[in-house]
Amino acid sequence: MGEVEFAEVAAGEYRVSIDLGDGRTSTVLVGDGVRHRLGAVVPERARRAAVVTQPTIGVTVDSGLEQRTFELGDGEEHKHLGTVGSLCESFAEWGLTRADCVVGVGGGLVTDVAGFAAAVYHRGLDVVHVATTLLAQIDAAVGGKTGVNLPQGKNLVGAYWQPRAVLCDTETLRTLPEREWRCGLGELAKYHWLGGGRLDDLPLAARVARCVQIKAEVVAQDEREAGRRALLNYGHTLGHALEIAGGHGLRHGEAVAVGLVFAAELAAALGRVDADVVAEHRRVVDGYGLPTTVPPGLDGDALVELMGRDKKVLEGGLTFVLDGPDGLEVVTDVDPSLVRRTLEVVS
């Protein structure tokens, strides 16, 4: 089991170091301008850096190495195996070797795809992420989960591949479009039930660093989601189903926000929590200005089927992370008819 060190290394700048065991470490730097530290965190042995980004990111980096930029398309529709294959082919055409590195610059889509490509190209290249969105900084870029979608579900194909370092430059968050900001707020709300408390009371960099610290502590204990790490999926079972169903305009964080309220209502229906806990969920989610109801027009039976395909589903049937007397827990074999009725409560 690994360990986590957390430090404020300068005014408004934080470092979270994750000891993953077997000599592996991952370092996260949080603060304004930390993207300019990229040259200090890329592997010393690397001659080249393949910078993976999107044309709309608008953030340039200097690895201090020979580097070439590879752009992904914008939008979730580009998060698939074909994109990873094309990216790896481009790496090979350039002559990237196992001694070189990949640098992902962008949001969660970029870090997921770039990290997966780094994991499988030459059976593993070092990867460093420069996270430029709230979602990437507090969740997607940290912890080593990479993956792409299948038509049947989100992130069903991927690998655990820890980044050497993650640079969470909070300067980039100040120019985020409103919808990108909201995309991360659902994840921020989730940390309320993972020990974060009232994160809004903290300055921006401290807020991001606290979320990183919480996630790092979970990952250090359960890197490959054999137990506690599944709790980081709180609100995501319905959230991912809503994203796959599509046609309603919800972004990831907004879908997770609805999933948090749904999970509270489901826990109440199972007798795990009382009405006050449900009210707290609604208060926190509403306080972030996020939706609390399933968009109209979606088929409840179809959503239940999609939730049944969630990647954390075990042999026990429908599986959810739910609140309870002892905090969040993974609950298996939930009655589909109860899930369907709970969907009606949040519709």
The CATH number of residue 280's host domain is: 1.20.1090.10
Active site (annotated) includes residue 155 = no
> Which is catalytic among the residues 48, 129, 145, 192?
145
Asked, for residue 47, whether it belongs to a domain, the answer is yes
Active site residue: 79, 215, 251, 311, which one? Answer: 215
- The reply to whether 226 falls in a domain is no
In terms of DSSP H, where are the helices of 11-133? 38-41, 81-94, 108-120
> Which of 221, 253, 287 corresponds to the end of one domain?
221
Domain that holds residue 138: 3-221
Cα distances from 169 to residues 16, 131, 163, 199, in angstroms, run: 14, 7, 16, 18
Is 215 in the active site?
yes
Token code pair at residue 44: 């010393």
Alpha-carbon gap, residue 143 to 85, rounded angstroms = 23
Cβ neighbour number for residue 263 with a 10 Å cutoff: 30
User: Is the same domain home to 215 and 238?
Assistant: no
Of 221, 255, 279, the position where a domain reaches its end is 221
- Residue 227: its pLDDT value, please? 85
| Given the residues 13, 223, 225, 243, the one annotated as active site | 225
User: What CATH number did the domain enclosing 129 receive?
Assistant: 3.40.50.1970
Last residue of a domain, one of 221, 244, 264: 221
Question: Which one of the listed residues 48, 190, 229, 281 is annotated catalytic?
Answer: 229
Q: Is 78 a catalytic residue?
A: no
Give 34-37's long-range contacts (Cβ < 8 A, gap of 24+): 34/167, 34/168, 34/169, 35/59, 35/61, 35/130, 35/167, 35/169, 35/171, 35/172, 36/62, 37/167
172 and 82 part of one domain: yes
Residues 12 and 144 in one domain: yes
Catalytic-labelled residue, pool 180, 187, 243, 254 = 187
Catalytic residue among 48, 252, 281, 311: 252
The answer to whether residue 111 is domain-embedded is yes
Annotation marks residue 236 as catalytic: yes
Q: Is 282 a catalytic residue?
A: no
Same domain, 55 and 169: yes
Active site residue 252: yes
Q: Residue 160: which H helix or E strand, with range?
A: strand 153-160
Cβ count within 10 A of residue 200: 11
Q: Say if CB 63 and CB 38 are below 8 A apart.
A: yes
Question: How confident is the model at residue 316, as a pLDDT?
Answer: 63
Looking at residue 314, its pLDDT comes to: 54
At 284, give phi and psi (nearest 5°). Answer: -65, -50
Is 145 designated active site? Answer: yes
The one catalytic residue in 93, 123, 178, 198 is 123
The pLDDT of residue 313 is 59
Residues sharing a CB contact under 8 Å with residue 65, sequence separation 6 or more, in sequence order:
39, 42, 46, 47, 48, 49, 101
Is 240 a catalytic site residue? yes
Is 244:153 a contact under the CB 8 Å cutoff?
yes
Q: Say what the pTM is.
A: 0.91
Q: Which of 164, 233, 254, 281 is catalytic?
A: 233
Number of domains the chain contains: 2
Looking at the structure, do residues 196 and 244 belong to the same domain, yes or no?
Answer: no
**93 catalytic residue (yes or no):** no
Full pLDDT tens readout for the chain, 347 residues = 678 999 999 999 999 999 998 889 999 999 999 999 999 999 999 999 999 999 999 999 999 999 999 999 998 899 999 999 999 999 999 999 999 999 999 999 999 999 999 999 999 999 999 999 999 999 999 999 999 999 888 889 999 999 999 999 999 999 999 988 988 999 999 999 999 887 888 999 999 999 999 999 999 999 988 888 999 999 999 999 999 898 788 989 999 999 999 999 999 999 999 999 999 999 999 999 999 999 999 999 999 999 998 766 555 689 999 999 999 999 999 999 999 999 999 99
Q: Which of 240, 251, 281, 311 is catalytic?
A: 240
d(CA 214, CA 191): 8
